[in-house]
Amino acid sequence: MDFAQIVQTVSLYAIPVLFAITLHEAAHGYVAKHFGDNTAHMLGRITVNPLKHIDPVGTIAMPLLLYFATSGAFLFGYAKPVPVNFAGLRNPKRDMVWVALAGPGANLIQAIAWTVLLYVLLATGVEEPFFLKMCQAGLLVNLVMFAFNLFPLPPLDGGRILVGLLPWKQAALVSRVEPWGFFIVMALVISGVVGNLWLRPLMMLTGSAIEVLLTPLRMLIL
């Protein structure tokens, strides 16, 4: 593996990844505070300081090891989850849906922002490949985080959204999966089920929606 290529890849993705995980987690905490739970606020987790959200193993060690082990073919990582006391929410079952949606929502907004930045750079005649590729990396990273976290299985955000939307009896059944949810998700990721049946289709759909949304801007400035 070319060391220079590794350094370039890390340089391109470092800033987009830090923004993606930081704003994702901070958004969870901010919305939880809005609906009555101050846990994240009291622990200093509603912040744009990435050091508060980085997990040494999940954010740094695991992605690097997987990158080297698979030559970049498979990457996986995670940040320190923002603690949320759902019992502290004013309406726990309803409000947990908004708290869970906040993280992927932050990634969707960032995906749009990186695309807008790409258009602006192109419109102003910036031809430096590094900055253009960083914008593309920002779009990709946030599309991945948006789609992956919406997978409907606890403890992912999509699972919490599902629990909040289902009737109490069905919600309780889905909640019981959470202790094993991480391992089930990992097995589905490794087997290709998540990637082929969920991640790629949702990323393509979301990317197309962003392209349509920004068509007027693209036509105006490019």
Residues recognised as catalytic: 25
Q: How many residues does the chain have?
A: 222
Distance, CA of 214 to chain centre: 21
Task: Copy the structure tokens of residue 9.
Answer: 């890849």
Contacts of 137 (CB under 8 A, 6+ apart): 12, 13, 16
- Assess contact for 28 and 80: CB atoms under 8 A: no
CA torsion, ordered 157, 102, 131, 58, to nearest 10 deg: -40
Angstrom CA distances, 164 to 62, 107, 157, stand at 31, 21, 11
Q: Sign of torsion, CA 102 89 178 58?
A: positive
DSSP string, 155-207: TSHHHHHHHHHS-HHHHHHHHTTHHHHHHHHHHHHHHTHHIIIIIHHHHHHHH
